[in-house]
Each structure stands twice: as structure tokens, then as C-alpha cells.
Amino acid sequence: MKKINLKYGFVLIATALIMTSCGGDKGQNSSTTETSTTNELATESETSEFGVGPIQHQVSFDGIDADLAANGEQVFTQKCMACHKMDKRHVGPALVGVLDRRNPSWVMNMILNPDKMVQQDPTAKALLAEYLSPMANQNLTEEQARAVLEYFRKYDADNQ
Amino acid sequence: MKTILYSIAAVVMMAVVAGCGNDNGKKGAITSSGAADEVYVAPGEHDEFYEFFSGGFSGQVSVVGLPSGRLFRRIPVFSVDAEKGWGFDEETKPMLNTTHGFIPWDDAHHPKLSQTNGEIDGKWLFINGNNTPRIAKIDLTTFETAEIIEIPNSAGNHSSPYLTMNTEYVVAGTRFSVPIPQKDVSIKTYKENFQGMISFISVAPEDGDMELAFQILMPGYDYDLASSGKGPSHGWTFFTTYNTEKGATMKEATASQNDKDFIAAINWKKAEEYIKEGKFEEWTSPYCNNEMDESTHMAKSTVKNKVKVLNVTNCPGLVYFLPTPKSPHGVDVDPTGKYIVGCGKLSADLTVHSFDKMMEAIKNKDYETTVDGVPVLKYESVVTGVVKSGGLGPLHTEFDGDGNAYTSFFISSEVVKWKIGTWEVVDRIPSYYSIGHLSIPGGGSMKPWRKYLVSMNKITKDRYLPTGPELAHSAQLYDITGDKMRLLLDFPTDGEPHYAQGCAAELIKPNSKKFFKLEENKHPYAVKSEAEARVERKGNEVHVYMSSIRSHFAPDNIEGIRVGDKVYWHVTNLEQDWDTPHGFAMMGAQNSETLIMPGVTKTLLWEPKVPGVFPFYCTDFCSALHQEMQGYVRVSPSGSNTELKWWLGED
């Protein structure tokens, strides 16, 4: 952990370096692949509007499911609340209106795959540069992450 | 290791060391570039084998990769470990409880991996505590000590744990005979009052739970090492003995009188029958059984009282003695289960007994005599081969599964390779210096991996940069794939390894746990979310229900603590990802830090002595803002009425 997080520390100083050393899955295995890894990572524009992660389709919404939102609030309280408040900046950004600012699929990937997102997705990288603490992977299931989104929707609806 | 060996060694070593010194710098290795290729594991790649080294007088186990010799982890077992809080935090203290009270140390000798059908299964690692007799079980999904059982009616638990081929039992034996049960007698009454005890501890197949199944009261010899039968010899466990002379003082001389001591063959299936028939005495012999509960993350120490004891003198067919020359140390059953190799440590030769011949001799009542109620089988009727080694001080034998055996020679400082069946020596190679145990991954099982052999050497001398009078013990890695053994690598070890055992990494690696699920945390002082963080006072006890996540504690400011309070910091790590532990350290705490794995709750006790404001912080570099992961606690004088309050993120 020390190594990885030291790398996050270096991101502030030398983004290019961290891209080299924190490359893809195989990047650390052999010095001979570093060049190509760097090139691959440098092409940020290739990441989709959904971000990097398991959700590569458009998450769509119907009417707000109150049960699902309640479930999501429970998950949020246990796994997310230590770093996120809804209404103000804490360790991470305030989450009110997040689904207006970001594609819901992108938010899902940020929850499910934060390690790769802060390395490869341009928006997530910018957020890391601003907030400094990398988003923790709390190992939510896709169902749990979807429930958290429903809680965000309900929160926004209740607080308009 | 007997001191007499050191005396002899002192003389021989001079010659050996001097001889090795002339080895032109390479000191026995094949050309360094060739060897380097064979042990090089490129950055980011994994070793082929896990090898678990006992720490000896460190009381711990170290996990090393082969062929690289890299150290991955030091698992705390019998000794407190401030680095991890083992034996310092409230959850792990009960693991080191014994009927002698809390014991912060032991001497850990022989790691043995669990087996199914005679093959290593990668589930658990067992290791003996020699000094205050205990056996520990390490869970190989978490690499943490999960259970420790104390062995009552015992002393010097050296011939242990040497498990059976389906891990039905791990065994324990008295290297030091004592009055059993203990009583206040003159040491000069050794012959009348001192006895040995062999213990069989059952292991539950599903969860590895250890229970003291039965004990066998034996003559007052020193039961040195053991090896369990396999295949045809399954159902038997073999123990070497020395001091059949029953000396109690100046043992290096008194215990070396007899030409032959014994290998004791124990028929544990017969013991099971006797137990079933009720032919045991039930003794009241208190012992502690300590278990770590993976859902509460807390250890519990239970005192148990009853043991079933079989007396060898009235259980015919239970034990036979196989005469074996010159104070045998190691006994090792080969992978086919047909041969029992004894290493008479004061002899140059190895003695190989045949299991089939032993059974025939038992059937024919081919007894030399009966001593202390146990039939002694005729030497000529059981021995099947003698290996004329040409070496001195044989200790231990391992096998490669292809009909070759490898024996360590302490005094002549070498590994000798010989053939099972023909008993001829086919190769020998020096160790640097004075090898004790040796290990081939899968050693002791029916399916060793013939690739590497590790020697564990007692003397290091000039092998590494010097570090004052105390030097790291050395291990050496040999290639054993060909006809000739080849030295590949030296690497230093932790403590004094006695035995080490290894297996293919694939048996363990896929099951390695990444984190503990917060939902499954049943610790009574856990907080499942930051919303539950709080402080509660009960008289002079204060319980801090604290959470940690990158990069803050909740709460991180506390006031209302008083001098004289006992403050329990219950810290739950809310992280749910691999490799995200947090540490917790409190200024002035008279124990250690504690290290908290993701999803786990740990408790550190702090008893503030003076008023003031004191910091606490995270010790394990956890994130870019790790340095900010800190807090303050205000301590007021005893009897003051500063309000108890706490917060996070308020100004």
C-alpha cells in the first residue's frame, strides 16, 4: 500500500511519471513495456463518457424507487459517508446534483473502479488533483452502486 | 542440538571453515551468472514456491519465496510482535495465554503444512512451541495464527507437530521427561519418577479445530523428533529417542552411553481402539485452548481440564521400540511409506528400517527384550539398509519422490544424496556452515516437488557483511533436478530456522484473503459507519468507538478523559479494499501500536498518567494525506469535571 499511495503523492508533482509507473496491469512487470504503456495511457481521449470500468452502457432512470433509494442510503452511510457529505465538500466532493454534472454510468464506474478511473479518466484525474485523496475502492457490488445512485436521485428530488 | 555436537563441531568446524575459505570466492556456487538466472524473479513476477521458515528462538514464522529467497511476511505466532500489535492489543492477548499465565515468547521449531491423502493441501500450517509446550495453527487464507493449544503433562515439546497423512492428528512429545503429573521430588529420583508423554491432537477436517484426543504415558526418555507413516504405514507415528540411559545431569555424556537408543513406533489406530474400549484413565490436567474468532476478530482463551491417558505398560500392541544406533535425532518416513530413516547423530551411518519387516517382526514376536513394558524388536529383524555416508553428524533426511534421499550432516557440514534401496551415496555438496534441517518443498509428504533443496545452517561466519557478534543464520538453495546438486543462492533468515516446509504457490495464492467484509464484523465494539463513532464512559473505563478510513479517524478530537482512566481505543478500519490497513498509535501507551486490517476492529488500552493534550496517529503510510491522519485527546486531572465530548471536522 505504501508504494501505491506514494505514487498518488507524486501525482501532484509529476503526473507523467506516475502514468509510467502506475501503468496497466502488466506495466510493472517489465521495463521493456513501459514505453508502450505510457503511450497507451497518454491517449486520454479514448476513454468514453462512461469512464473506465465495468459499466459500458448508458444507465437509464425511471421513476424514483423509494425502496432502492433507502437501500442505497444504508450502503452510503456505511461505505461512503466517512469521505462524502451530500451538501458540502468533505474529503471528497459534495454529491448533491452529481447526476446532473456527470453521466450516471460514469458515477457507477467511479464507485466500482476508482483505482483505474483516477489513473485513466481525464475528469477523475482532475478531481484527484483537486481533492488529493484518491477515491477509495469500497468493493460495492453493481447492485449496491446502483442503489446508491437511486439515493442520490431521491436526495436531489427531496432537496430541490 | 546437543552441546556435545558443538564440542565435536568446534574441532571439525575449524577444518571445514578453513577448507571452505579457499574456495576462490565463489564458495561452492556454480558460476555466478548461471546461478543468478536460475534464482532471478523479475520485478512484478511471483515465486514458484512458498516456503515457511520457523523462527526458532524468535517464536515466529517467516514466509519466503523460492527460488528468490525474498521475505514476504513474518507471521507472529508464539512471541509478541509490536509491529502488528500481536500480544499487545486486547484482541490477541488471549492467544498467548497458558496455565502459566500470559507467556510472551516461545521457541518455534517445526512448521508442517496440512495434508490430504498424503499431499499438501495448502489449508493450514502447524508449528510447535518448544518451551512452554504448545502447538499453533496458522490459517493460510489470512496468514494469521488462528489457534494455539497448550499441551499438558509435557515438557520440551520438540517432536512436534509432525502430522498424519490426512491431518487426522498433529503430535507432541516430551523431549524432556519430567514427573508426570508434576510433583515436588528430588531430581536424583529421575529413574523412578520421570516419564515421557506422547500426545495426539485431532484436527477437525472442516475448520481445523484442534482438540487433545489422547496422551500416551511413556518411559522417561527424551523423545526428540517424529515422522508419521503414510501409504502402507498410515496409522503409525515414529519418534526418535535418546537418553534411554535416563540420565538427568551432564546429559551430553550420560545420554551417550548406549550404542543404540530407540525409534518408538506408535500404533495410533490401536490407541483409538483402546480409547473406544475405555481403556484409558481420565486425568484432570488443565491446559489452555486459544482460538481467534474470525467474525469478532477477538481471541478467546478457554481452560480445559480433562485428558484421556493410555499407559504404555498396560496397552499391548500400542508401542514397539526399533533399536537405532547412537542417539538418533531425525526420523523420516520416505514418500512410499515403506522406509523409516533414522539419523544417529553420533554415528557416521544412517539406519533404514523397513516397515514391512517391522510388521513381520511384530507378528513373529521377534523381540530382543522388553524394557519399561515395551517390546524391543530385534535390530537385525527390522533394519533393511545402512547408508555408509562418509559424513559425520547426520541429522535429517528429505526425499525428492524419485527414489533419492538427502541427509544433512552437521559436523561435516554437507548434504549427502543417496539412493533408497541400494543405500549408495551418489552425490555430496558442502553447506556453509553446519547445516541443521534441510527442506524440499512438499517434504514429509508423499508428493515432494523435486526442484529445490534449502539448507538451514547454524553457522554463518563469513558469508555476509558482518553485523557484530550476532549474525543472521544462513539458508542455502540448491538445485536438485539433475544427478549432481548445485548451489544456487545464499540468503539470510530471521531468528534461527529449524525446519522449513514449502509447497507450490498455486496451492495457497488463489485463496489469499484480500480484506474482511465489514458486514460480517461481529466485534462488540465495532462501528459499521462513521455515524456510529462515539465515546462512552463507564466509571473510570472509557470506550472510544472509532473508525478509520483514508485519511482520518472519527472522532479525531476527544475531551473529558481523566488521569486514572483506562481508555480502550476500539478502532474499526472501514476500508473495503486489498492492501489498505491503518495503524493506530497513542502517545504514552505502554504497549505498542496496533495494525488494523480492512474491515477489522482492534483495541488498544491506554492509561494516561498526566494531564495535557496528547496526539494519536496512523502509523501505516496509507495515502497522500497520511501525515494528516492524526488527532488529539485532552486529559484532565483525576476528579475534574471536564465534559466528555468528541468531534470530527468542527472548529
> pLDDT of B220-264, one tens digit each?
999 999 999 999 999 999 999 999 999 999 998 888 899 999 999
What is the mean pLDDT of the segment spanning B588-614? 97
pLDDT of residue A14: 38
Asked whether the beta carbons of residue B44 and residue A28 sit closer than 8 angstroms, the reply is yes
Which of A30, A78, A90 is facing B529, going by the closest CB pair? A78
Which of B45, B529, B624 has its CB closest to that of A77? B529
Alpha carbon distance B300, B289 (integer Å): 8
What global pTM score does this model have?
0.90
If we measure between CA atoms, which residue out of B388, B408, B404, B423 comes closest to residue B345?
Answer: B408
pLDDT, mean of residues B33-47: 91
For residue A138, which residues of chain B lie inside 8 Å, CB to CB? 575-577
- DSSP string computed for B415-448: EEEEETTT--EEEEEE-TT-EEEEE-TTTTSSS-
Q: How confident is the model at residue B267 (pLDDT cuts 50, 70, 90)?
A: very high
Residue of chain B whose alpha carbon sits nearest to that of A141: B576
CB contact under 8 A, B579 and A137: no
Cell numbers found for residue B137: 495453527
Is residue B352 within 8 Å of residue B385, measured between CB atoms? yes
From A28, A77, A133, residue closest to B550, measured CB to CB: A133
Grid cell of B181 as nine digits: 503429573
d(CA B142, CA B567): 29
First to last CA, chain B: 64
Give SS3 for B94. helix
Average confidence (pLDDT) over B415-444: 97
Chain A neighbors of B629, CB-CB under 8 A: none
Q: Closest Cα of chain A to B185: distance in Å?
A: 57
Residue B18 has pLDDT above 90, yes or no: no
User: Which residues in chain A are contacts of B530 at CB distance < 8 A?
Assistant: 81-82
Q: How far apart are the first and last CA of chain A?
A: 41
Total length of chain A = 160
B544: which 3 cell numbers? 472510544
pLDDT band at B625 (very low <50, low <70, confident <90, very high): confident
Q: Which residues of A touch B (CB under 8 A)?
A: 1-2, 4-6, 8-9, 11-12, 28-31, 77-79, 81-83, 90-91, 132-134, 136-139
Q: Is the pLDDT of residue B281 over 60?
A: yes
Q: Do B621 and A29 touch (CB under 8 A)?
A: no
Are the Cβ atoms of B575 and A138 closer than 8 angstroms?
yes
Q: How confident is the model at residue B12 (pLDDT cuts 50, 70, 90)?
A: very low
pLDDT in tens, B78-108: 999 999 999 999 999 999 999 999 999 999 9
Å between B581 CA and nearest CA of chain A: 8
DSSP B38-63: HH---TT---SEEEEEE-BTT--EEE
Chain A positions in Cβ-Cβ contact with residue B547 (cut-off 8 Å): 82
pLDDT at B32: 61
Beta carbons of B215 and B315 less than 8 angstroms apart: no
Hey, are the CB atoms on B581 and A29 less than 8 Å from each other? no
Distance from CA of B122 to the nearest CA of A (A): 26
At residue A54 the predicted structure's pLDDT band, cuts being 50, 70 and 90, is very high
Which fold does the domain A49-158 belong to in CATH? Cytochrome Bc1 Complex; Chain D, domain 2 (1.10.760)
CB A108 within 8 A of CB A55: yes
| Whole-number Å distance between alpha carbons of B576 and A139 | 6
Phi and psi of B355, rounded to 5°?
A: -65, -40
Q: Taking 60 as the threshold, does the pLDDT of residue B192 lie above it? A: yes
Is A81–B530 a contact, with Cβ atoms under 8 angstroms apart? yes
* For residue B217, pLDDT beyond 50: yes
Partner residue opposite A28 with nearest CB, options B43, B518, B649: B43
* Whole-angstrom distance, CA of residue B470 vs CA of residue B461: 10
CA atoms lying within 13 Å on the CB side of residue A66:
1
Find how far residue B573's CA is from the centre of its chain.
Answer: 30
Q: For position B120, what pLDDT does the model report?
A: 98
Q: A-chain residues within 8 Å CB-CB of B650?
A: none
Nearest by CB to B530, from A28, A29, A82: name it.
A82
Those residues with Cβ within 8 angstroms of residue B603's Cβ, 6 or more apart along the chain or in another chain: B89, B90, B91, B525, B568, B569, B570, B571, B594
Nearest CA in chain A to B582: A1
What chain A residue is nearest to B574 in terms of C-alpha separation?
A: A79
| Residues of chain B contacting A90 with CB distance shorter than 8 Å | 649
- CA distance, residue B72 to nearest chain A CA (Å): 14
Residue A152 distance to chain B (closest CA, Å):
18
Nearest to B577 among A77, A90, A139 (CB): A139
Contact yes or no for B518 and A79 at CB 8 A:
yes
CB pairs under 8 A between A and B: 80
Give B86's DSSP letter: B
Among residues B93, B255, B281, B263, the alpha carbon closest in space to that of B177 is found at B255
Tell whether the model's pLDDT for residue B5 goes beyond 90.
no
* The total number of residues written for chain B in this structure: 651
How would you classify residue B117: left for phi > 0, otherwise alpha for psi between -120 and 50, otherwise beta? Answer: left
Could you say which of A29, A78, A90 has the minimum Cβ distance to residue B42? A29
Q: What is the pLDDT of residue A48?
A: 83
Q: Assign residue B65 a region: left if phi > 0, alpha if psi is -120 to 50, beta otherwise?
A: beta
Residue spans per domain, chain B: 82-181+193-218+280-314, 518-647
Q: Burial letters for B24-59: b for 16+ Cβ neighbours within 10 Å, e otherwise?
A: eeebbbeeeeebeeebeeeeeeebbbbbbbbbbbbb
Q: What are phi and psi for residue B80, nearest 5 degrees?
A: -60, 150
Are B45 and A29 a contacting pair at CB < 8 A?
yes
Inter-CA distances, B375 with A126, B193, B266, B316, B456, Å = 82, 21, 12, 9, 36
* Nearest-CB residue to A5 (from B528, B549, B624): B624
Residue B129 is which amino acid?
G
Minimal C-alpha gap between B529 and chain A (Å): 4
**H or E stretch at A150:** helix A142-158
> What is the DSSP track for B165-224?
TTSSEEEEEBSS-EESS-----GGGHHHHEEEEEEEEEE-TTT--EEEEEEEEE-SSEEE
pLDDT (tens digit, 9 = 90+) per residue, B25-34?
345 555 566 7
Cβ proximity of B203 and B114 under 8 Å:
yes
Q: What is the pLDDT of residues B333-356, one digit of tens each?
A: 999 999 999 999 988 899 999 999
pLDDT tier at A38 (50, 70, 90 boundaries)? very low
Question: In this complex, which of A5, A132, A137 lies closest to B622 when CB atoms are compared?
Answer: A5
Q: Delimit the domains of chain A by residue range.
A: 1-42, 49-158
- Cα B152 from Cα B287, distance rounded (Å): 6
B442 to chain A, minimum CA–CA distance in Å?
A: 29
pLDDT at B11: 45
**Closest CB to B528 among A11, A78, A132:** A78
pLDDT of amino acid A133: 86
Tell me which residue in B43, B576, B622 faces A1 most closely, judged by beta carbons. Answer: B622
CATH architecture of B518-647: Sandwich (2.60)
C-alpha distance from A2 to closest chain B C-alpha (Å): 6
The residues on B that touch A, with CB distances below 8 Å, are 42-45, 515, 518, 528-531, 547, 549-552, 554, 574-577, 579-581, 620-626, 649
The pLDDT assigned to B303 comes to 98
Q: Strand B645-647 vs strand B566-573: parallel, antiparallel, or unpaired?
A: unpaired
User: Rounded to whole angstroms, how far apart are CA atoms B379 and B322?
Assistant: 7
B71-75 β-sheet, strand order: B71-75, B61-66, B49-54, B500-504
Strand pairing class (B210-218; B298-311): parallel
Write down the pLDDT at residue A47: 66
Whether residue B219 is preceded by a cis peptide bond, meaning omega within 30 degrees of 0, is no
% of chain B at pLDDT higher than 70: 95
Which parts of B97-184 are beta strand (E)?
Answer: 97-98, 101-102, 112-116, 119-129, 134-139, 144-150, 169-173, 178-179
Lowest mean pLDDT among A79-93, B194-208, B219-233, B634-648: A79-93
The average confidence (pLDDT) of chain B is 94
What integer is the mean pLDDT of B433-453? 97
| Contact criterion met (CB < 8 Å) for B581 and A1 | yes
pLDDT at A2 (0 to 100): 40
Cβ-defined contact of B574 to A82 (cutoff 8 Å):
yes
B1 DSSP assignment: -
Q: Which residue of B has its CA nearest to A73?
A: B529
- Cβ neighbors of B65 (< 8 A, separation 6 or more) are B41, B46, B47, B49, B50, B51, B72, B505
Question: Other CB atoms closer than 10 Å to residue A6's CB: what's the count?
Answer: 15
> By CA distance, what is A30's nearest residue in B?
B43
Q: What is the mean pLDDT of residues A137-144?
A: 96
Q: For A138, name the nearest residue in chain B, comparing CA atoms only.
A: B576
ipTM of the complex: 0.75
Task: Mutate one of B518, B521, B529 to test the A interface: name it (highest A CB count within 10 A).
Answer: B529
B222-228 and B194-203 strand pairing: unpaired
Contact A5 B45 (CB under 8 A): no
Q: Which whole number is the average pLDDT over B400-421?
A: 97
Q: Contact at 8 Å (CB) between B150 and B307?
A: no
The average pLDDT across A103-124 equals 96
Nearest chain B residue to A2 by CA: give it. B621
How confident is the model over B451-462, as a mean pLDDT?
Answer: 96
